[in-house]
Amino acid sequence: MAEMIAVSLSEKLAAALSASAALELSSLFAIRSGIAAAARVVDLLRTFLRAADSRRGTDALAAAWINQVRDAAFEFEDVADEYSYLSGRGFVRGCANLGAWFALSRRLRRARERLRELLVAKEEYSILPDVASAATSSAVGGSAIVISRKVADAAHFLGKEDIVGFAAHRSLLMEWLTVDAEPRRTLIAVLGMGGVGKTTLATNVFKEVAASFYFDCSAWVPVSKNFTTEDLLRRVYKELQRDVYTGAPRNVEEMNYRSLVEALQGILSKKRYLVLLDDVWDALAWYEIRSAFVDNGTRSRIIITTRSQDVANLANSTRIILLKPLPEKEAWCLFCNTTFREMADRECPRHLEHWASKILDKCSGLPLAIVSVGNLLALKEKSEFAWKNVHDSLVWDGSTDHATGQVSSILNLSIDDLPYHLKSIYPEDFFVKRKILIRMWIAEGFVEEKNHATMEDVADDYLNQLAQRSLLQIVMKNEFGRAKRFQIHDLIRELILSRTAKEGHFVFSKCTPTFESNSNYRHLVIDRCTRSDLPAPKMVSLRSLHGFKTELDASLLSHFRLLTVLNLWYIPITKLPSSVTNLFNLRYLGIRSTLIKELPHELGRLHKLQTLDTKWSMVQRLPGSITKLKGLRHLILFRRDAADFRFMYPGKAVVLPNGMKNLTCLQTLKYIEADENTVRSLGSLKQMRSLELSGVHEGNLIHLASSISKMSHLLCLGIVSRDADVQLDLEPFSPPPLNLQKFTLSGRLIGGKLPSWFGHLSSLMQLQLHSSGLKEDSIGLLSSLPRLFDLSLVDAYEEKSLTFAAGVFPVLRNLRLEDLAYLAHLEFQKGSLLALEKLMLCRCSELIKIPQGIKNLMHLNNLELCDMPIELAEKVQESQESEGKHQDARHTTIVKVIHTHNGRLLEKKFNTNLCTLQGFKDGCRSI
């Protein structure tokens, strides 16, 4: 939490320094140089904050220091945002407000003095080490040592089946320990790069041999990089004492080097012993302790694991085992054994093989890396998106010891110490939408870009971590299996409220607010309040305002000039006040499900705006000035027709002004009218990832093909034709959007055929086709798509028969056939749709017989019949009633029958068996 404050502040300070407006004034008052100095200190503070935050629960002094640093950080944030606010007003207006610049200069000076005092206090009270030692400890010692020791200790509890790829080395080591007749004390070295499995191999063999009583006594001792000779000897002594009672002195902690050596010689003088010295970095360690290990001709053995060739050379060249990274086959075996250890077959599902292979490639065959990332993936959802996020987060360290950097990077993922912030708090019974929360986090500066991943991808990973920690509950998933909506558990929410109250947040629910004068609250949630309940606090430091179902006075917004996030839901106001355009720091503006009809004409003044979300508002057009918002990343538009919150549909797309080509940062654009100017402008939006268009027709289709071909990052595409008379020809899309994961098409295709490039959409996971007039050969074009698991055909197929042959749609899980007016025969041949879990048949008026071969859908869990012919419903009902007569039924399917009668939905739900559903005489005896 503390580090995230610094992350946000660093971003704010950097943005302030990049502002060019009012440069002369800020230089005059030394504000710019002061902010630059503060930015340098904050970057250093991030190291301290990470360490201190980990000690807050056990170190009251560190906790108090962190709280004061947080307050100082908030003060710097205020200065940075105030600077941006004054700069945004321009030079002329800035000159007219010299008093504000003087006040800001004084405020910055006080904040810097306060920060210096805190740094002095840190040294005076020894709260944390200095910068150099802190950085060194973080990178080389501290956590790295703890992690390596945990890994080493865990090796004691691995079975033979967990040791993959070392069979020959294991046999050789066993031979040297138990078969080799050499009477002298012998050193054996296990050499290899960090993470290659030295400790795992040596410890596993040591444990087995020590338990066999082949040796009289044994000791397993970690050495590590920072050892002292006396401490190392004490640990060897204590380990040996566990096996041997010699009457040796018990005051081992007080013994010096000479006494320790003599005591060990006394224990080992007449015994065959086995000692494992794990992780020896320096040959000096052996030279300083070797006198303690007497060479008494009893075939004693000492194993040393090391990553240093110099240390390995202490052993005879014929007694050195060199471990190398695992080859591909063994690496895959270890990966599957770790990641899918709870599965009986321990095999990787087919849909994850692509990302599993890419992740495994990054592990470079290092067993420790493979096990670490495997443990991490075992906690993740078994979805491609979740695994892609893990893949994109694997960043190798640039340290000199490359192997250590690799292993350290992966272990950092396993530790799961990603910074996150819990400022976006929602009411108890309000669902949190994943995409909205992600965009808010980015707007508030809580997310840093990593590698080639977007901030949205990084934030999504943060959110997944919160869910893994049970801070958020997943209540709904989208078509890709990713979390779509979250809900905060009541008890968790109370904990969050307690924490945020201490950190300058303020959240209240159901209108019991109390405000202190001149309060420094940063975040405010107003939930279901009437106007009479609300005071008009002057909170100049407020950064986010969330309003839900509240009679909000729009004039209240002018009080919060440093606001970053403004999010209004179900607010019954019809106009957004023009004063909103003075919120120069605003990055997120959401007016979902409001009655707002018009946005201010000067909206373009909000140069920092990243997200504009007007979905289900009544906004019909956008002001022309929106084309000035060059940092806009997400533009979501869809207007409601009726001023009644109970009804949303039907909604309509929104018309865009000319000049949208300037918004080159746009990643999301929906739902918009596709006029010619808009379609031409799309070619400049090369960062687009999600695009939804309405009103497409033959006249602008050629320009649309050209524009979309330039969107190399496009993942989701929706095209809705202007009317039923439009004939869509998608064949000219060149190059086609081959990275699509979701495609929605509403409109008639020329000749009832999908374009040939559809067969190459290897990443496509969801496809919805409406009113397309398809023929059966187009279904064949889709049948081999390797990742398509959700297919909807709505009034999109005009043949009388539809047959799914063996081997088609190998991973399809959901199939929806709706409003297929001509469909009279539906058949599922054996070996088709092997993964299908849900089948929905809706308003197919000619389909009066139970689909032939439905018994072949052995994984079908849900069958939904919505407004289907009464004959079909009756046959399904009859099969369910007769099911008890046949005891060879194997698979139960939930059947839901839905009918619409006089505007009411009548639903019947029951369980049946696929065999009895097909009919007992239809071959089920052979199962």
For residue 325, say if its preceding peptide bond is cis, omega within 30 degrees of 0. no
Whether residue 63 sits in one domain with residue 35: yes
Asked whether residue 608 is domain-assigned, the answer is: no
- Can you tell me the distance from the alpha carbon of 232 to that of 224, in angstroms, rounded to the nearest whole number? 10
**pLDDT given for residue 402 in this prediction:** 38
Q: How far is CA 423 from the centre of its chain?
A: 18
Asked whether residue 231 is domain-assigned, the answer is: yes
CATH of the domain at 489: 1.10.10
Whether residue 341 sits in one domain with residue 215: no
Distance from the first to the final alpha carbon of the chain: 59
**pLDDT given for residue 314 in this prediction:** 92
For residue 290, give its domain range: 143-322
Whether residue 169 sits in one domain with residue 296: yes
Whether residue 291 sits in one domain with residue 188: yes
Contact between 424 and 445 (Cβ < 8 Å)? no
Q: How far is CA 753 from CA 277, 513, 738, 784, 880, in A?
A: 70, 61, 18, 16, 39
Cross-strand partners of 86: none
Whether residue 103 sits in one domain with residue 154: no
Residue that terminates a domain, selected from 125, 158, 193 = 125
**pLDDT tens, 524-547?**
878 777 765 555 556 777 888 888
At 792, give phi and psi (nearest 5°). -125, 125
Asked whether residue 162 is domain-assigned, the answer is: yes
Contact between 838 and 862 (Cβ < 8 Å)? yes
Beta strands in 706-824 (DSSP E): 716-721, 727-728, 742-746, 748-749, 766-770, 790-794, 801-804, 814-818
**pLDDT given for residue 400 in this prediction:** 37
Given CA atoms 322, 325, 327, 329 in this order, what sign does their dihedral have? positive
Residue 487: closest CA among 478, 498, 476, 496:
476
**pLDDT given for residue 769 in this prediction:** 96
**pLDDT given for residue 241 in this prediction:** 79
Tokens of 49: 């904050």
Whether residue 179 sits in one domain with residue 59: no
Asked whether residue 260 is domain-assigned, the answer is: yes
Domain count, the chain: 5
- Can you tell me the distance from the alpha carbon of 446 to that of 7, in angstroms, rounded to the nearest whole number? 6
**pLDDT given for residue 398 in this prediction:** 40
Low-confidence ranges of the chain (pLDDT < 50): 1-3, 21-23, 57, 92, 129-144, 248, 396-407, 409-425, 427-428, 470, 489-491, 517-518, 885-889, 920-927
Count how many Cα atoms sit within 13 Å of the Cα of residue 572 in the half-sphere of its side chain: 11
Asked whether residue 688 is domain-assigned, the answer is: no
The helix (H) or strand (E) run that includes residue 191 is strand 186-191
Whether residue 153 sits in one domain with residue 249: yes
Q: Going by DSSP bridges, is the β-strand pair 668-673/634-636 parallel, antiparallel, or unpaired? A: parallel
For 341, which DSSP code?
T
Q: How far is CA 637 from CA 343, 612, 744, in A?
A: 44, 8, 17
Whether residue 338 sits in one domain with residue 227: no
Residue that terminates a domain, selected from 386, 413, 440 = 413
Residue 922: closest CA among 830, 877, 836, 855:
855
Asked whether residue 810 is domain-assigned, the answer is: yes
**pLDDT tens, 695-737?**
999 989 989 999 999 999 999 999 999 998 899 999 988 889 9
**pLDDT given for residue 925 in this prediction:** 35
Whether residue 832 sits in one domain with residue 890: yes
Task: Name residue 235's amino acid.
Answer: R
Whether residue 358 sits in one domain with residue 488: no
Residue 34: closest CA among 104, 84, 94:
104
Tokens of 785: 């798509």
Cross-strand partners of 725: none
Residue that terminates a domain, selected from 503, 525, 543 = 503
Whether residue 301 sits in one domain with residue 177: yes
Whether residue 103 sits in one domain with residue 20: yes
**pLDDT given for residue 506 in this prediction:** 59
Asked whether residue 300 is domain-assigned, the answer is: yes
Asked whether residue 558 is domain-assigned, the answer is: no
At 271, give phi and psi (nearest 5°). -120, 150
Beta strands in 536-660 (DSSP E): 544-548, 565-569, 588-590, 611-613, 634-636
